Amino acid sequence: MNCTTANKMSIAGFLLSKGINPQTYNSKSFLYCSPLRNEKTASFKVDRVKNIWYDFGTGTGGRLIDLVCQMYRVEVPGALLILSGSETPTQSFSFDQPQENTRESNLTIKHIQPLQNRALIQYLESRSIPANIAAKYTNEAYYTITNPDTGEIKKYFAVCFKNIAGGYELRNKYFKGSTSPKSYSIIPGHPEHVNIFEGFLDLLSAMVYYQQPEPRNTTIVLNSLSHLHHLWETLPTFNQVNLYLDNDQAGLKAANEIQTRFPVAVNKSKILFPQYKDFNEFLINP
């Protein structure tokens, strides 16, 4: 693969393959929370027609190669290697969503059942997570997404992980999302020791790595770093705090903030797998 071929790949398709979905969209562009930094208000634009991106927060932009170089902090040869192994669609990629309206599609859970769908089990196994471990803490959800303009309804299914408010995190090979209400998840364990994860796949990865059928410590899965503030009242009750957040800019910033507030906290991610983004990536690449 060369740069010309790589830059013909859809930027939106590449972001989708990494679980990054647009916040809003129209016939000409997608708008995302920047994959290059931590932000709450989307300011990262992808031009669907020209297949270029621009980050209004940093004033930088370019083609797909430029984006991959910045996201993974590699030079062009490294970016080409990453893209060579990517399942990124070409420029003909479509989100299969309405063209002229920026409202989000309506996702509705129709049915929850124990994990048994072979496609979902294969997805988890591709992430080095055995079904028998995943089945204890996840289920499978069948849901629909309704196009707000046309009324067209499409059916999907995904691995689901419930939060304390009754909402779900949804994952399959092609989709990373959640339902409302959004919140964090807690699994009871040792009353004075707590493990904190950013996502449930990292929790399951840790159980596989440590060969534990269930967490020994109290476990909090944030499901999103936007729920970090919920920890401020909870963490003082623990005398041992183990952090397993992502080793990216946002995860490291969150870990630093926790350690500043609670000096007993230890960033296990930085110790155990400093060269990998998260626990699951570490598990897949022993």
Q: Are residues 236 and 280 in the same domain?
A: yes
Please count the structural domains in the chain: 3
Per the domain annotation, does 22 fall within a domain? yes
11 and 66 share a domain? yes
Q: Write down the pTM of the prediction.
A: 0.64
CATH assignment at residue 272: 3.40.1360.10
Question: 10 and 91 in contact (C-beta within 8 Å)?
Answer: yes
Contacts 24+ apart (CB under 8 A), 174-181: 174/16, 176/19, 176/20, 176/21, 177/21, 177/107, 178/223, 178/224, 179/107, 179/109, 179/143
Domain-located, residue 10: yes
Same structural domain, 227 and 280: yes
Cα dihedral angle (204, 205, 209, 213), rounded to 10 degrees?
10
Identify the domain containing residue 214 by its residue range: 185-284
Average pLDDT value over all residues in the chain: 86
Q: pLDDT per residue over 140-182, tens digit each? A: 999 988 877 777 888 899 999 999 989 999 999 888 888 888 8
pLDDT digits (tens, 9 = 90+) for 70-129: 888 888 887 887 887 643 333 333 333 323 222 334 788 999 999 999 999 999 999 999
Same domain? 72 vs 125: no
Please give the pLDDT value at position 97.
34
Identify whether 95 is part of a domain: no
- What distance in Å separates the CA atoms of residue 204 and residue 212, rounded to the nearest whole number? 10
Residues above pLDDT 70, as percent of the chain:
92
| Token reading at 242 | 């183990």
Whose tokens are 């990373």? That residue is 176
Predicted confidence at residue 135, as pLDDT, reads 95
Out of 72-76, 207-211, 217-221, least confident range = 72-76
Burial 122-160 (b: 16+ CB within 10 A, else e): ebbeebbbebebbbebbbbbebebebeeeeeeeebbbbb
Same domain, 174 and 191: no
Q: How many other C-beta atoms are found inside a 10 Å radius of the C-beta of residue 264? A: 12
**Cα angle 230-188-201, degrees, rounded to a multiple of 5:** 75
| Strand 176-178 with 190-197, pairing | unpaired
Residue 89 lies in a domain: no
Q: What pLDDT was estimated at residue 41?
A: 83
* pLDDT (tens digit per residue) in 48-68: 888 999 988 888 889 999 999
Establish if 101 belongs to a structural domain: no
Q: What is the pLDDT of residue 86?
A: 45
Question: CATH code at 52?
Answer: 3.90.580.10
Pair 114, 154 in one domain: yes
Q: For residue 85, what pLDDT is reported?
A: 60
Length of the chain: 286
What angle is formed at CA 248 by the lines to CA 15 and CA 179, rounded to 5 degrees?
Answer: 55
The domain boundary residue, chosen from 163, 178, 193: 178
